[in-house]
Amino acid sequence: MTLVAGPDLGGREPRRAARAHRRPGRMRGLWEASPLTYLTLIVALVLSVFPVYWMIIVATRGNDIVGDVPPPMLPGGELGKNLGAVFDAEEASFAKGLVNSAVVATSVTVSTVLFATMAGFAFAKLRFRGKNALLLTVIATMMIPVQMGIIPLYIMMGWFGWQGELQSVILPFLITGFGVFMMRQYTQQAVPDELIEAARVDGCSTFRIYWSVVLPALRPAAGVLALLTFMQTWNDFMWPLAVLSPDNPTVQLSIRQLNSAYFQDYTLVFAGTTVATLPLLIVFVIFSRQIIGGIMEGAVKA
Amino acid sequence: MGLDVRPTPTRRRAKAGVPGPPPPRATWRARLSRLDVRFSPYALISPFYLVFIVFGAFPLLFTLWMSLRDRELASGKDEYVGLRNYTDLMSDSDFLNSVLNTLGMFAIATVPQLLLALLLANALNRRLRASTLFRVGALVPLITSTVAVAVVFTQLFDTDYGLVNWLFGLVGIDPISWQSDRWWSWIAISIMVDWRWTGYNALIFLAAMQAIPHDLYEAAAIDGASRRRQFWQITVPMLRPTILFTTIVSTIGGLQLFTEPVLFDNGRMDGGSTHQFQTVAMYMFDSAFTSDDYGYGAAVAWMIFLLIIAFSLLNFMFVRRMGGVK
């Protein structure tokens, strides 16, 4: 996933101010948006949002709309009925899928944030033998595709007796190299060395420093990591498909079941996909500023 | 850092021969604190290594070992066959077909995706009204569930009732059979992939664009360079490392393509009636979990890994080349 480098966007504000001050006549047009720019952006916005909008429209309609000309572009009043059918569909275990996904994504998120901030703090601020080599292995693990492992993981889960159980989709993802590296980059620049030294002089243990000094300072970045992790876990498909069974699914497996069983009944299937998608979208829209900031700041200087 | 917090007064007193043993509690604490400084870093990073060794490194080697065996879970069969799985793969037309499909969709998806992302980022880099709205819009696809959106797109691309064919019909284009035709199925799946990732890549490009010094553009403008020229001669060369990064990430993702084509085939692993859009990842899944041939599936997994490494290196060389001209 994203490679995170030290965010040094500090220059953004001063630059904007400077731009407002000195603006020689011929430079005025340099950053101005042309109508064509707006046209491009509006087309992109419509294309981005339309499939989600369409999903919601269909989810609120009756099945009679299939083949309607022109297709409906406004919501109807059948959402309740469709949702009822989704939760009644036995093949999909939809309610169970939702609860399972919430449990899995929450556990993975909490542990990833906790362990990643711990390791990130150690790599950014503590001195120990073998640090650089160890950090390199963290980065290397980011390159290993998940799919490489699912066949042996499946067999391992058989040894432990965890096939079909939720721990099989939680434990392998308790922490990622991506999380560690991202938190290391943020710790390095968000936590001043003096703060840590001061805490040491006051007699804090290393763990106490982590808990009372570092973790609070990392809150914004940890929030971004939490949302990215939650999203990724919530959307994971291949490994749950391999290891879980249809009667104890995550919500993505429920959708697949729904889709195979009712593929002619679009409105029902779309009601299911809407339920599985909207919670994340709402969370995203609420925190969109922080998330976008986090992705852009943490972005790239590969 | 690594601050020494031994209670020195106690020591000095002891050295000076001042009678009375140093308070044992202080030494105990000092020793503890030294141990703390020395070993807590390892304690803090240990969860990562614990998870990585058990669920990352071990499975990797286990896959390699399994790929040299004929292994079935149902019958319990498990015997060493050397490199036979790999030599079989080389003459397995279904496998070669899946490699072709994966590479084809990877090319169709990635090239336009990165170009569009560059253009979008360039547009977002202007002074804009409602810039947050456009950025949020760019990221909405990433937040939606892949499975859900694949289902929605599959319906949009339905041959008889799909919105896309209806729109095409308005301008007089005959309905396209998106599922059954190889090329069209590749394009439909590539559109799903691009829909999800273009905006995200655009934001990454945007972040890198904002770090380019403005003086460069101002100087170019004074010299009379058009905006288009500025884009190709300043923006793109300055973004070289970022382009490399996004290309490699797209490669890793593209060669593992799985969810979209599976849902495009209604949740099956076949990739259409003639395997016209079956990817390598689907073939791996199918070999292991459907055909109960885990050794063979493990060999396919290693081939995916090798493909990823090979293509990342190719990208790396290509982008370096591209930059060498400048």
pTM as predicted: 0.83
List the 124-163 stretch of B: residues with Cβ below 8 A of A.
Answer: 124-128, 132-149, 151-153, 155-156, 160-161, 163
* Yes or no, beta carbons of A276 and B148 under 8 Å apart: yes
Maximal C-alpha separation, chain B: 105
Distant-in-sequence, close-in-space partners of B162: CB < 8 Å, separation ≥ 6: B155, B156, B178
CA dist A226 to A112, A286, A294, Å?
A: 8, 14, 11
Three-state DSSP at B69 gives strand
Which long-range contacts (C-beta less than 8 Å, at least 24 apart) are formed by B265-268? B265/B179, B266/A259, B266/A260, B266/A263, B266/B154, B267/A256, B267/A257, B267/A259, B267/A260
B228 touches chain A (CB under 8 A): no
Rounded Cα distance, B110 and B128, in Å: 28
Measured in degrees and rounded to the nearest 5, phi and psi for residue B79 equal -135, 155
pLDDT of residue A67: 65
Question: How many Cβ contacts (< 8 angstroms) between chains A and B?
Answer: 326
Chain-centre distance of CA A147, in angstroms?
Answer: 19
Q: Residue B144 has what DSSP assignment? A: S
Q: Name the pLDDT band for B15 (thresholds 50, 70, 90).
A: very low
* Yes or no, beta carbons of A171 and B55 under 8 Å apart: yes
Please tell me the CATH code under which domain B92-325 is placed: 1.10.3720.10
Distant-in-sequence, close-in-space partners of B271: CB < 8 Å, separation ≥ 6: B98, B101, B261, B265, B277, B278, B279, B282
Rounded Cα distance, A241 and A163, in Å: 11
Rounded Cα distance, B156 and B162, in Å: 4
Higher pLDDT, B46 or B322: B46
CB-closest option in A125, A177, A242 to B1: A125
List the 285-324 stretch of B: residues with Cβ below 8 A of A.
Answer: 285, 288-289, 294, 297-298, 301-302, 304-305, 308, 312
Distant-in-sequence, close-in-space partners of A225: CB < 8 Å, separation ≥ 6: A112, A113, A116, A179, A182, A183
**pLDDT exceeds 60 at position B5:** no
The tens-digit pLDDT sequence of chain A (302 residues) is 343 443 333 334 444 444 444 444 445 567 777 888 899 999 999 999 999 998 988 888 877 776 676 777 788 778 888 888 888 888 888 899 999 999 999 999 999 999 999 999 999 999 999 999 999 888 888 777 777 789 999 999 999 999 999 999 999 999 988 899 889 988 888 888 888 999 988 888 999 999 999 998 888 888 888 988 998 899 899 999 999 998 899 999 999 988 888 877 888 888 999 999 888 888 888 888 877 877 776 654 33
Closest alpha carbon to A93 in A235, A265, A252, A271: A252
Indicate the burial class of B227 (C-beta count within 10 angstroms; 0-12, 13-18, 19 or more).
middle
Contact A66, B161 (CB under 8 A): yes
Indicate the burial class of A233 (C-beta count within 10 angstroms; 0-12, 13-18, 19 or more).
buried
Q: Name the pLDDT band for B22 (thresholds 50, 70, 90).
A: low
B80 touches chain A (CB under 8 A): no
User: Which residue type, as a one-letter code, is found at position B136?
Assistant: V
Residues of A in contact with B134 (CB under 8 A): 41, 44-45
pLDDT of residue B119: 92
End-to-end alpha carbon distance in chain A:
12
B167 touches chain A (CB under 8 A): no
> Which chain B residue lies closest to A252 (C-alpha atoms)?
B147
Averaged pLDDT for residues B231-251: 87
Q: What digits encode the pLDDT tens for the residues B145-157?
A: 889 989 999 988 9
Closest alpha carbon to B149 in B259, B65, B57: B259
ipTM score above 0.90: no
CA dist B90 to B93, B94, B277, B306, Å?
A: 8, 10, 19, 14
Q: Tell me the two tokens of residue B53.
A: 């060794």
Query: Which residue of A2, A27, A48 is the best one to mutate when testing the B interface, meaning the one whose CB has the most B CBs within 10 A?
Result: A48
CB-closest option in B145, B245, B298 to A235: B145
Query: Which residue of A41, A197, A268 is the best one to mutate when testing the B interface, meaning the one whose CB has the most B CBs within 10 A?
Result: A41
State how far residue B270 is from chain A, nearest Cα, in angstroms.
14
* Yes or no, beta carbons of A131 and B41 under 8 Å apart: yes
Q: Tell me the two tokens of residue A59.
A: 């989810």
Residues of B in contact with A145 (CB under 8 A): 252, 255-256, 304-305, 308
Contact B276, B260 (CB under 8 A): no
Rounded Cα distance, A233 and B150, in Å: 17
**pLDDT exceeds 50 at position B9:** no
Q: HSE (CB half, 13 Å, CA atoms) of B62?
A: 18
Helix, strand, coil share of chain B (percent; to 5): 70, 0, 25
Q: Is the dihedral of CA A121, A127, A132, A138 positive or negative?
A: negative
Per-domain residue ranges of chain B: 8-66, 92-325
State how far residue A47 is from chain B, nearest Cα, in angstroms.
8
In CATH, the architecture of A94-245 is Orthogonal Bundle (1.10)
* Yes or no, beta carbons of B206 and A231 under 8 Å apart: no
Give the percent of chain B with pLDDT over 70: 90
- In DSSP terms, which residues pair with A32 in a beta bridge? B127
Of A198-202, B1-5, B224-228, where does mean pLDDT reach its minimum?
A: B1-5
pLDDT of residue B21: 54
pLDDT of residue A160: 92
Per-domain residue ranges of chain A: 94-245
CB-closest option in B42, B134, B298 to A151: B298
* Yes or no, beta carbons of A273 and B47 under 8 Å apart: no
Q: What digits encode the pLDDT tens for the residues B156-210?
A: 898 888 889 888 888 888 888 888 889 999 999 999 999 999 998 998 899 888 8
Query: Which residue of A112, A151, A267, A289 is the best one to mutate when testing the B interface, meaning the one whose CB has the most B CBs within 10 A?
Result: A151
Contact A83, A271 (CB under 8 A): yes
Rounded Cα distance, B148 and A192, in Å: 44
